[in-house]
Amino acid sequence: MSSGSESVKNKVKRKSRWGVAVDLKRCVGCQTCTVTCKIENGTPPGVFWTRVIAKEIGKYPIAATVFMPMRCNHCTDPPCVPVCPTGATYVRQQDNLVLVDHDKCVGCHACVVACPYDARAIPEDSRGYYGATMTSFERVAYNRRPAGVVQKCTMCVHRIDKGLRPACIETCPPEALIFGDLNDPQSAISKVIARRENFQPHVELGTDPNVYYLT
C-alpha cells in the first residue's frame, strides 16, 4: 500500500515522535486493524490493543455512522507514567513511545486508572480462546505477555526498530491510517495534518496525544 506510506528505516537512530493519523472519511469499520493487532501481538482473550467504535452523527433523514479506531495515544505528556510506582511504564527517549517493562510491573492498576483513553488492560490469566488447552501460537505468544501485568499498544515497536511500519497500518484496506514522524515536517503524517482539519482526543486534558483524527 502506497498512500501515506514512508520508510522508517534509519529514523530510529535520531529523535523522532511517532504518531498516527486516522482518516475518518476513509475508515469503513472493517476491524482489520483490530484483528491484525491481535495476530501480530498475540493478545489474550478479551484484550484488544486496537478497537474500532461506531458513532452516529446527524439526525434522520441526514444521518451517518463514523468509525473511529482507538488505541494508546502515546501521549507527549502521558498521565500513566508519573503514577507508576515502579517505573514500569516509561517514555522511550529516542522516539517518545510509551512502553511497559513487564519485569517491573506489579499489576497495581494505577496506570489503567490514570489513562483517559481506556487503552490499558491487565489480564488475570493466560487461558487460551478454547479454554485450558492453548494452541501452539498461544503458547508462544502468551509467554511474551504474562498475566497480571499491564498490556497496551506498543505502536509495534518491534517492527519500527526494524524499519517497518506498525502492522495495523500495513493492512488497512482503505488506507485510513497514516503513520510517521511528527517531528519531521516532510513526513506524510505531518503534511496531511497541516492540510486537513483534525482533532486530538481529549486534548483538553493536556496529554498532547500523538494520534490525530482527520475530519
- Give CA–CA dist 184/84, Å, rounded: 31
pLDDT in tens, 85-139: 999 999 999 999 999 999 999 999 999 999 999 999 998 876 777 766 788 888 8
DSSP secondary structure code for residue 136 in this structure: H
Mean pLDDT of all residues in 175-181: 97
Which helix (H) or strand (E) is 69 found in, with range? strand 62-70
Q: What is the dihedral of CA 141, 91, 170, 142, to 10 degrees?
A: 10
Residue 172 predicted with pLDDT over 70: yes
pLDDT in tens, 52-74: 999 898 888 888 899 999 999 99
Phi, psi for 64 (deg, rounded to 5): -155, 165
Long-range contacts of 123-129 (CB under 8 A, 24+ apart): 123/44, 123/45, 123/46, 123/47, 123/147, 123/148, 123/151, 124/148, 126/44, 127/44, 127/45, 128/45, 129/45
Half-sphere exposure in the Cβ direction for 114 (13 Å, CA)? 17
37-72: b or e for each residue (b if 16 or more CB lie within 10 Å)? bbebbbbbeebbbbebeeeeeeeeeeeeebbebbbb
Single pTM value for the model: 0.86
C-alpha cell, 135? 494452541
Bridge partners (DSSP) of residue 67 are 54
- Give CA–CA dist 115/108, Å, rounded: 13
